[in-house]
A and B are shown apart, each in its own frame.
Chain A
């Protein structure tokens, strides 16, 4: 048999039927749903008189719209309230398990899936959200879909898909002190561009990836979509198995043994061919910060806003981005002042992210010039764990707001927005125009870098700010 990549293996294993044109019918093992991308899919099912083929493979929770304070009170925004109500009613009518907003298990779908053991190695997992690539950190083939495809998965538990190409991103060496997988992701995207991975599934490999925790790998796979890739993948290893074992929905007993034996086979053959290979030396990666309105617009923290490109088309786009961001070429990144701090999102809201940020914040205060600093844990269980470790006190004592879980200021569908013209150091994934609110200026950073910016009031090299 020809050598296969990890992606080839999981794909082949889920092919139900193959059409003459190469399109495959792929079986879907897991489906996460939330309130924003599903109402029209349920409406379609109702109109056609269809039911869910396998409701037990679907798990629902609200995350995009939920407020992060005053959850004992009704949701103020009538449209947000309606989306939550519609999701709850649809789940009841179609027999889908639903974590309501106040349940301890509720949170961002991409935090909750792995946390509950819903996400498992070797499964196909979909969700109506582009950051579904996150789950690839466990060796699941996971990708975002649109509402039409959600309806198709509801009705058939399968999707008609064309196969993507294989890309390997190999990161070898040791990451420097204060450098996280978020910096690796931003570094990669700066290198290959936001369309660099289009049409591909990225498998991350190399000694720096092997050394990463599972949660760090989630951050990396989460950002694979920002490089244009359909999915990110890391081959499951002993760390993966230890992470999954004992989680509420993970296989148990004899099922665990059967699953584990299969999971251990899930890796690319040594001679497997990749359509594209990107190699990165971990030692060359600095804490990385964005200056523009695309995740590819980044610079090392000890660098500066770059000079305007010689190419006229790129120069025009760059001029527009810098105008929106209120920055000029040559400005040192570490001199950019910050008004808002957001630690959260499906990229960086897990317990290790909060620990990393708290290590910098401990014993210090948020700078007086910072108008608001927020921590939004990724799930109710992350929040409880952080509180058990006293991280909430560290943040609150420093002047941070300690919120309830949800997508929050990553995309501002709930009341958490960055006011127009203000500048936010954000651990989220997109610095698009208007993403965090109309006129909001976003600088994407890692959790320790967000913490450092909160303390000094400007973008700051966390390596110069040792934990006290």
Chain B
């Protein structure tokens, strides 16, 4: 996984609340068998409107998305962070995120930064004509207008993002404990392994 340390750039002041994963990537795009190319389907229904925010030239290539509360609610499709990454986003800043979307994003190196609504409101304004920095090492979001918003992220998730850690590799280091768990199951609850 690509490590995430700090990203500076244009931020799309999207701001919408309760953006579900069907909005981020509609189901017809789930028929793919690879992770790539989903950016063209991202926010498809919103982008059918010529005046949509994502296709405005001033936000072209933006690495940061600013959204409203409960971003990523709905399905478990990992196609949602894949699509956002394929669009060029490295970080999403919002007041809150849905659980499964959060976990899926972390595993793909997409940083989700939770900040209070007041900070989001300020960032939505600042993003109109300036850049935003998400600094995971310093645990803060800053703007070139001088704003500074500290944030808190789950310690383990932050560690994995900073180092770009591979979860399967991490778990493999626990082989002895996994074997002990399996041995206990076999003796106490043989039926778990019987089909």
Assess A147 versus B78: contact at CB under 8 Å? Given A152-B171, A158-B171, A255-B191: yes
B45 near A230 with CB under 8 A, answer no
In chain A, what residue has the closest Cβ to B192?
A29
CB < 8 Å: which of B45, B168, B185 contacts A50?
B168
| Interface residue B141 (Cβ < 8 Å from any Cβ of A) | no
CB < 8 Å: which of A83, A259, A317, A435 contacts B31?
A83
Residues of B within 8 A of A (CB): 16-18, 20, 22-23, 26-28, 30-35, 45, 69-70, 73-78, 96, 98-100, 103-104, 107-108, 154-157, 159, 167-168, 170-172, 174, 177-178, 180-182, 185, 189-195
From residue 89 to 138 of chain A, which have CB atoms closer than 8 A to chain B?
Answer: 97, 118, 120, 123, 128-130, 132
Whole-angstrom distance between the Cβ of B188 and the nearest chain A Cβ: 8
11 example contacts (A-B, Cβ-Cβ < 8 A) are as follows: A16-B181, A21-B156, A48-B168, A82-B31, A82-B33, A145-B100, A148-B104, A155-B171, A158-B174, A430-B22, A434-B26
The size class of the interface chain A forms with chain B is 35 or more
Chain A residues with Cβ under 8 A from B181's Cβ?
16, 27, 158
B31 near A37 with CB under 8 A, answer no
| Interface residue A211 (Cβ < 8 Å from any Cβ of B) | no
Please report the C-alpha to C-alpha distance between residue A27 and residue B185 in the assembled complex, in whole angstroms: 10
In chain B, what residue has the closest Cβ to A30?
B192
A144 near B34 with CB under 8 A, answer no
Chain B residues with Cβ under 8 A from A147's Cβ?
35, 78, 104
Interface stretch among A193-201, A299-307, A371-379? A193-201
Whole-angstrom distance between the Cβ of B169 and the nearest chain A Cβ: 9
CB < 8 Å: which of A82, A120, A258, A432 contacts B23?
A432
A258 near B189 with CB under 8 A, answer yes
Please report the C-alpha to C-alpha distance between residue A290 and residue B67 in the assembled complex, in whole angstroms: 25
| Interface residue A25 (Cβ < 8 Å from any Cβ of B) | yes
Chain A residues with Cβ under 8 A from B168's Cβ?
48, 50, 151-152, 155-156
Chain B residues with Cβ under 8 A from A123's Cβ?
192
Please report the C-alpha to C-alpha distance between residue A68 and residue B22 in the assembled complex, in whole angstroms: 22
A228 near B171 with CB under 8 A, answer no
Chain B residues with Cβ under 8 A from A54's Cβ?
193
In chain B, what residue has the closest Cβ to A229?
B99
A156 near B171 with CB under 8 A, answer yes
| Interface residue A64 (Cβ < 8 Å from any Cβ of B) | yes
Assess A413 versus B78: contact at CB under 8 Å? Given A40-B35, A148-B108, A317-B18: no
A57 near B193 with CB under 8 A, answer yes
| Interface residue A56 (Cβ < 8 Å from any Cβ of B) | yes
Please report the C-alpha to C-alpha distance between residue A262 and residue B107 in the assembled complex, in whole angstroms: 35
CB < 8 Å: which of B75, B157, B177, B195 contacts A16?
B177
Most A CB contacts (10 A, CB to CB) among B100, B156, B172 go to B100
| Interface residue A162 (Cβ < 8 Å from any Cβ of B) | yes
Chain B residues with Cβ under 8 A from A39's Cβ?
32-34
